[in-house]
Amino acid sequence: MRDFIPPIPFLAKAITPFSEYIGATTLPLHIHEVVISYLAYTFINKKVAPTVSTWLFPQKYPALSAEKKFNWNVHVVSLCQSLLVNSTALYVILTDDERNNMTWQERVWGYTGASGMIQGLATGYFLWDLVITIQNVKMFGPGMLAHAVSALTVFSFGFRPFVNYYASTFILYELSSPFLNFHWFFDKLDLTGSRRQLVNGILLLATFFGCRLCWGTYQSLRVYQDMWMALHHTPGASYGKPQSPNHDEMMRYTKEEFIPMWLAVTYLGSNLVLNALNFYWFAKMIDALRKRFVPAEKTTEKPKLAMTGANGTVKIETDETTVRRRNVPLPEADIVPIPVGEGVEGSQVGSGKAEAAGLAGCLLVYTNTNQTATTSSSNTQDAGTSFKSLPVIPPAEIYGEPKAEAMSVPRAIRKAFLAVQQSEGVGAKVRRSIGTPQLRNFSPFLMLDHFTSSPGSGFPDHPHRGQETITYLLSGAVDHEDFAGNKGTIEAGDLQFMTAGRGIMHAEMPRELEDGDPVVGMQLWVDLPEKLKMCEPRYRDLRASEIPQVKADDGKVNIKVISGQSHGVDSVKELAYTPVWIFDVEVQPGGAVTQPLPAGWNAFAYTLSGTTNFGVGDDKTEIGQYHNVVFEQAGDTVTAAVDADAKEPGHFYLVAGLPLDQKVVQYGPFVLNTQDQVYEALRDYQNHENGFERAKGWRSEIGKRMMH
């Protein structure tokens, strides 16, 4: 099969002296394809990619830093090249009978115009790739440089001609490149962990494994066999197979049937480098996909259990970590808690008897836009209703004082994924990351919600047992009230640490703001140690003015030390029973910070705004807004940086906690250690006893806002 694109005479004439000097006899026949390919990919990189990307992604692409835009454009070029050259190579392989009937001798020294065309187009791309990689070697690394050199070397030798047959064969490596590029784009478009990225990841692994590892390794073995035959071949000897009808035409550019040892070693060495890199990259791809889609730990099969309650059978599905409700009919109750995602507009909270619709998760949402907030902003306790709480037990007395070694071993990123926004009731939005299929079994953390509540929505009367909740308000104000008469308000920058212990009934109602802006905050559920599951409940409010702040990296980094230690500054002590460190970190463009964390603790970062680079070296990963970044337990520091040309600071919520060596059985807002304890909590709540005595007949004043 001949070349589809005829040579350009003046280019062929101009390159002839050079081609004769280096022994690349067929280069003049395809130099136009090398040049056209190189210029086309340069034009795509400089003009087409920025224009099309800005048109398709008008918000995301312009906001990228210059370095990220460059990397984006390179991926666009790679995508275009793989689609063009693969379709052409497949056509040649399937239709070129002349090529497909070659003997080993013709595969080594022979030439066809169609294979030469593939060789020219590919050489132009790999020349462009080498130039770009050399100019940006710090960005791409030595592995990509080795790949660029090896690929250009392998394809350039084909112009001698030498193994011209294999140009179409090995370019099929690029069949996996579209999926690799889509995987990269999904990360940059905040689709990390999405179903689309999962499907693309499966296709990426399948094509990479099939095309590079299976097909590529098999064809490499054929090359080695042909090379062995050529190195031991005596010119004029029998070939062991009849020559093809077009033998003389295919061999017309071969001066002698001889391979210099340097050429054999160079070609085979480049081939081995490419194959080794393929196996290395395949392992890295598997690891990258695991970080995005594999839960933190394995879960066991959930046996179905049943218990008979006062109002019939309660069916519970359970595993080592959770107990979930399945259409649970509860007896009549004074309070009507609604499950997350099942908000009921106009529910009559606290007016007469109503059938309970179930127990909620983190945010129990009711909505009624007809009422406004009128509660006091000061913390008060009604006489005769104060807690008879147990003495405060400093965490150090239970676990020992947590310490972080300064600047030693950086933690790798285990996985990072987007917290997808979902509606909770009417008027509230939640981005839940912990307590989802993406991240379970992450002791001591049970749930993490980034919530937005519009005026008129709220989280009225609902129970808890066995956990602590940490609410951090980013904007607005939230009123709270419980069945012991405790009332108060937290405002922007404040935190509330609530220990549910043996039982609490409370309400959390966003205060309607004068400007109508929504209330935004973070709520983290933390497991209680088994020995403290039945302690008396308590509150600790931490005001924004009480939180120490640290400036680092010449003022480019600001850290609010909510809990723990940072850069020699300690937080307010004894806020939670379970040891947790919490930091609110903002990094200005060009800034970087390394935060020590206690070794062995589980840790994550939730990105509130901007784009932040987490990790160091090969593990360095760019993370966009609303992502949860989960770190490996090994190591004792976390590093974050923001590019100097970024449009805005990187703002994230960094948390670490001591894993608890205990079983977790969760049923809505009840978090215990055994199934029997969960059943007991259900009975206690229904019967108003063992911690829930004060729930009988109690209705919060702030919860009445939701009534018509």
Question: What local confidence, expressed as pLDDT, does residue 708 receive?
Answer: 42
pLDDT (average), residues 638-666:
94
- pLDDT category at 100 given cuts 50, 70, 90 is confident
Most confident of 163-177, 373-387, 474-488: 474-488
Helix (H, G, I), strand (E, B) or coil at 630: strand
Question: What local confidence, expressed as pLDDT, does residue 150 receive?
Answer: 80
Task: Look up residue 613 and give its two tokens.
Answer: 């680079």
Q: Which candidate, 567, 571, 575, places its Cα nearest to that of 637?
A: 567
- pLDDT category at 352 given cuts 50, 70, 90 is very low
- pLDDT category at 216 given cuts 50, 70, 90 is confident
Task: Look up residue 290 and give its two tokens.
Answer: 């695991």
Which secondary-structure segment (H or E) carries 450?
strand 445-453
Question: What local confidence, expressed as pLDDT, does residue 461 receive?
Answer: 84
Lowest average pLDDT, out of 119-133, 403-417, 544-558, goes to 403-417
Question: What local confidence, expressed as pLDDT, does residue 295 receive?
Answer: 52
Q: In angstroms, what CA-CA distances link 543 with 479, 493, 494, 495, 550?
A: 14, 7, 5, 6, 17
pLDDT (average), residues 580-608:
96
Which secondary-structure segment (H or E) carries 446?
strand 445-453
Distance, CA of 466 to chain centre: 30
Lowest average pLDDT, out of 21-30, 311-320, 560-569, goes to 311-320
Q: Are strands 627-631 and 602-609 parallel, antiparallel or unpaired?
A: antiparallel
Rg of the chain (C-alpha set): 33
pLDDT (average), residues 345-373:
32
Higher pLDDT, 427 or 527: 527
pLDDT digits (tens, 9 = 90+) for 88-97: 989 988 988 8
Question: What local confidence, expressed as pLDDT, does residue 644 receive?
Answer: 93
> Using CA atoms, how far apart are residues 111 and 123, in angstroms rounded to an integer?
16
- Summary mean pLDDT of the chain: 79
Question: What local confidence, expressed as pLDDT, does residue 159 receive?
Answer: 86
Residue 360 has pLDDT above 80, yes or no: no
Question: What local confidence, expressed as pLDDT, does residue 77 receive?
Answer: 94
> Using CA atoms, how far apart are residues 118 and 111, in angstroms rounded to an integer?
12
Higher pLDDT, 262 or 524: 524
Under DSSP, the state recorded for 442 is B
Most confident of 377-386, 395-404, 568-577: 568-577
- pLDDT category at 236 given cuts 50, 70, 90 is low
Question: What local confidence, expressed as pLDDT, does residue 275 receive?
Answer: 87
Task: Look up residue 581 and give its two tokens.
Answer: 């460190």
CATH, range 304-706: 2.60.120.10
Task: Look up residue 439 and give its two tokens.
Answer: 């991240």
Residue 456 has pLDDT above 80, yes or no: no
Q: Which candidate, 567, 650, 636, 559, places its Cα nearest to that of 602?
A: 636
Could you please report the per-residue DSSP string of 69-130?
HHHHHHHHHHHHHHHHHHHHHHHHHHH-HHHHT--HHHHHH---HHHHHHHHHHHHHHHHHH
Residue % of the chain over a pLDDT of 90? 38
Which positions ≥6 away from 184 have C-beta within 8 Å? Answer: 75
Most confident of 63-67, 69-73, 369-373: 69-73
Asked if residue 615 lies in contact with residue 410, where contact means CB atoms within 8 angstroms, the answer is yes
Task: Look up residue 178 and give its two tokens.
Answer: 């579209």
Q: Is the peptide bond before 161 cis (omega within 30 degrees of 0)?
A: yes
Burial bucket for residue 631 (CB in 10 Å: 0-12, 13-18, 19+): buried
Higher pLDDT, 592 or 153: 592
Q: In angstroms, what CA-CA distances link 273 with 144, 260, 280, 438, 704?
A: 11, 20, 10, 36, 71
Sole residue written with tokens 């499966």: 202
Asked if residue 326 lies in contact with residue 679, where contact means CB atoms within 8 angstroms, the answer is no
Question: What local confidence, expressed as pLDDT, does residue 378 receive?
Answer: 36
- pLDDT category at 289 given cuts 50, 70, 90 is confident
Question: What local confidence, expressed as pLDDT, does residue 17 receive?
Answer: 92
> Using CA atoms, how far apart are residues 411 and 595, in angstroms rounded to an integer?
10
Residue 384 has pLDDT above 70, yes or no: no
Higher pLDDT, 612 or 165: 612
Which residues belong to CATH 2.60.120.10 in the chain? 304-706
pLDDT (average), residues 569-596:
90
Residue 242 has pLDDT above 50, yes or no: yes
- pLDDT category at 344 given cuts 50, 70, 90 is very low
Residue 547 has pLDDT above 90, yes or no: yes
Q: How many CB atoms lie within 10 A of CB 217?
A: 12
Question: What local confidence, expressed as pLDDT, does residue 294 receive?
Answer: 61
Question: What local confidence, expressed as pLDDT, does residue 403 receive?
Answer: 58
Question: What local confidence, expressed as pLDDT, does residue 405 receive?
Answer: 54
Question: What local confidence, expressed as pLDDT, does residue 13 receive?
Answer: 92
> Using CA atoms, how far apart are residues 581 and 564, in angstroms rounded to an integer?
5
- pLDDT category at 404 given cuts 50, 70, 90 is low
- pLDDT category at 646 given cuts 50, 70, 90 is very high
Could you please report the per-residue DSSP string of 496-556?
EEEE-TT-EEEEEEEPPPTT-PPEEEEEEEEEPPGGGTTSPPEEEEE-GGGS-EEEETTTT
pLDDT (average), residues 407-414:
84
Under DSSP, the state recorded for 26 is T
> Using CA atoms, how far apart are residues 654 and 211, in angstroms rounded to an integer?
41
Could you please report the per-residue DSSP string of 542-598?
E-GGGS-EEEETTTTEEEEEEESEETTEE--S---SS-EEEEEEEE-TT-EEEEE--
